[in-house]
Amino acid sequence: MTQEAQHYLLNRAEEACSILKEHIKKDHVVRVISHNDSDGLSAAGVMCNAISKQGGKFHVTIVPRLKEEFVRKLRNERYKLFVFCDMGSAYPDLIGKLKADSIIADHHQVLGDQDKEYENLIHVNPHLFGMDGTRDVSASGVSYLTVRGMDNVELTGLALAGAYGDMQCSEEIIGVNKMMLDEGLNAGVIEEHEDLKITYKKEEPLYKALSYTFNPALKGISGDPEGTKAFLEERGLSYGIKFDDLAEEEKDLLKEELIKITPKIFDKVYSIPRETPALRNIEDYSRILDACGKNKKYGVGLSICIGERENALEEGITFAKKYRDNLVKGIDWIKKEGSVQLDNIQYIYTEDKARKSLMGTISSIGLELEILNPNKPVIAISKMDNIIKISGRTSMDLIRKGVNLGYALGEAAKSFNGAGGGHNIAAGAVVPFKDMDNFTDIVDEIVGTQIRQ
């Protein structure tokens, strides 16, 4: 990412901020529409917190995907400003025709003419300026840029929770994400320290905490409680106690042994010091929001973001526990079932209700643990009545070889009057169930072409 590209993105975000401030001053209710994953919930949270801080009002709707019919129905609503978070870049023409001002704060690949300007629409998206919406900034970061001009540095932690949810911080933190992190650290609203990145190590027995650790993934441990018990027993460590109950020399031994599997397990950890303990670790915050989204409890996730917690946080923690147990079951399922191999891609298929919301996540984990073929993208397919919902996942190595799943799924879906798109590394689509085999064949062809070019 060049400084010039970031400069242009920041200028566009300032334009959007000016429009937002203008409507808040006029006491207009801001209509916010956002996505249902942790990044979308964080993005909506950033936007709504900033509006509230200025004394403004908002009306939020969280949706799993933005459909043309939904945008068309918005024409009947009498709001003066619409803000689309983590979505909208696929429909700038439609949104530009709304009889009101609109802001798109998105990071997905832009469909249509990127140079087209609209009278009542400010489009804030890193791809418009040659930046990478997969690594440089997520939707919550774009939302933060949009409200940054109203002095909201305290929201950098929440914005980074969204970036973690979109797996943008699993390696080096770069681009706008790094800029936000630095702003938060300098303001004292984010703290940094080095630690073992074992998930829920204060809450769960050691073997469970390790088996719930997927970022980074630990081969033979992540998603494998029995394998984790064996790993600990072989090293003379008790698996039934919590990490904090280990003696110091035992903690050192565990650290040494885990680093042998992946050095990434001991790394920088970022926290929000003024947050409640369950949300203090930014990655934990992200996981709780993700679980709310996966359980379709969008109101709970948004309530956590905007501080109206009461019972919401307790519910979110419960959803997170249920979600991580289902992830372990999902990993076990992949180990047993494997994937269907085509020439250039592989796919997994389910009709299981509990598994459907996990398919993208277990695909990513399966690739990292190499229980799925790491040399091919994964197309995860969930049957939903007469349609299929597709989640595509791939690796940075395959992206460097030319794979772009956002393009592949989007183009293939068009052949069946479906819809698709997203990022190069992660994308989605919806097509009729009857066209599943033809759809996967076309994706296979497109990915093959991408790799050969």
Give me the DSSP letters along 71-115: HHHGGGS--SEEEEES--TT-HHHHHTSSSEEEEE--SPPPS-TT
Q: Provide the mean pLDDT of the chain.
A: 95
Return the number of other C-beta atoms located less than 10 Å from residue 256's C-beta. Answer: 11
Per-residue pLDDT, averaged over 78-103, amounts to 95
What the chain holds in terms of domains, given with CATH numbers, is 3-165 (3.90.1640.30), 194-329 (no CATH), 338-452 (3.10.310.40)
- Residue 139 near residue 118, CB atoms below 8 Å: no
Structure tokens at 419: 């819809």
Per-residue confidence band for 111, with pLDDT thresholds at 50, 70 and 90: confident
* 217 DSSP 8-state letter: B
Tell me, what's the pLDDT at 123?
A: 97
pTM of the model: 0.90
- Residue 293 near residue 42, CB atoms below 8 Å: no
Whether residue 127 has pLDDT greater than 60: yes
Whether residue 113 has pLDDT greater than 90: no
What is the rounded CA–CA span in Å between residue 121 and residue 362? 37
Whether residue 1 has pLDDT greater than 60: no
Whether residue 314 has pLDDT greater than 60: yes
pLDDT digits (tens, 9 = 90+) for 218-233: 999 999 999 999 999 9
- Residue 256 near residue 280, CB atoms below 8 Å: no
Whether residue 112 has pLDDT greater than 80: no
Helix axes 38-53, 156-165, angle to 10 degrees: 170
pLDDT digits (tens, 9 = 90+) for 341-366: 999 999 999 999 989 989 999 999 99
Tell me, what's the pLDDT at 171?
A: 79
How many residues are given for the chain?
453
> Considering all CA atoms of the chain, what is the largest pairwise distance in Å, rounded to the nearest integer?
68
Tell me, what's the pLDDT at 86?
A: 97
Identity of the residue numbered 165? G
Q: How far, CA to CA in Å, does 233 sit from each of 208, 212, 228, 255, 281? A: 14, 18, 9, 15, 29
Per-residue confidence band for 309, with pLDDT thresholds at 50, 70 and 90: confident
Whether residue 77 has pLDDT greater than 70: yes
Alpha carbon 95 to its chain centroid, in Å, reads 23
pLDDT digits (tens, 9 = 90+) for 179-192: 999 999 999 999 99
